[in-house]
Amino acid sequence: MEAALLAWYDEHARDLPWRRTRDPYAILVSEVMLQQTQVARVVPRYLAWLERWPTVEALADASAADVIRAWQGLGYNRRALNLHRASRHVAAHAWPQDLTELPGVGRYTADAVARFAYELDVLPVDTNVRRVLDRTGERFAPEAAHALMDLGATICLARIPRCSACPLTERCPSRGKTYAPLRKQGRFEGSFRQRRAQTLRLVSEGRHHVAQLDREAVEALRKDGFVVLEGDRVELAN
């Protein structure tokens, strides 16, 4: 199965900028940006980010306020703060052996950096990879990581997989099956998450009087380290 997968990947691999580097910082940036964000949206933002902050030291020297502003539109702003905090940790102490020691870095992200930056013998298992593994019942070597990701993202889709185009279909026990819709995350429109995001965007555009903003959202952002209060004014944390 793996030989068929790799042959398919040789022909159909997605040309993604973070696959052209072994820099752990650049790969970490890509992995954090890709969390719950579509690849097409990430590519231009990733390139702009690395142009502005090309090294982990450059990002560590930036203010949290600038990082938050640069992140606007990518969603889940906590990822920006964690990436900034991780860069400061690395700049001060070097890369830890266990990357899960970095803020916001879980098992998958740590494994992805280990594999794609350092070529360690570990298979990073994201949602797409897990789907292929579960449906085929096969085991694949770490060298197949990118191929598994692309297969899961473009062929072995969550609800209606494109089995007729899959290089593994002949030996796949799940071929021809469709699946019930996955449980969706709660609606963003009208949610407190939306209120937080809107409030953070307003603050990122300049200091604001607290009376002009959603007070509950301001307090939540303050507790999470995004903003600070100076008297009756709100501004991004630095």
Bridge partners, residue 208, by sequence: 234
Is-contact 202 39, C-beta < 8 A? no
Query: Is 31 considered catalytic here?
Result: yes
- Give the active site residue among 11, 31, 138, 235: 31
Q: How would you label 213-238 residue by residue, b for 16+ Cβ within 10 Å and e otherwise?
A: bbeebbebbeeeebbeeeeeebebbe
Nearest to 107 by CA among 84, 87, 123, 91: 123
Identify the helix (H) or strand (E) that includes residue 228: strand 227-230
Q: Which residues contact 39 (CB under 8 A, 6 or more apart)?
A: 14, 16, 153
Tokens 């600070």 sit on residue: 228
DSSP secondary structure of 21-37 = ---HHHHHHHHHHHTTS
Tokens 């020297």 sit on residue: 61
- Report the 10 Å Cβ neighbour count for 83: 26
Q: What are the phi and psi torsion angles at 236 (to 5°)?
A: -65, 145
* Angle at alpha carbon of residue 126, lines to 121 and 128, rounded to 5°: 115
Indicate the burial class of 208 (C-beta count within 10 angstroms; 0-12, 13-18, 19 or more): middle
As annotated, the active-site residues are: 31
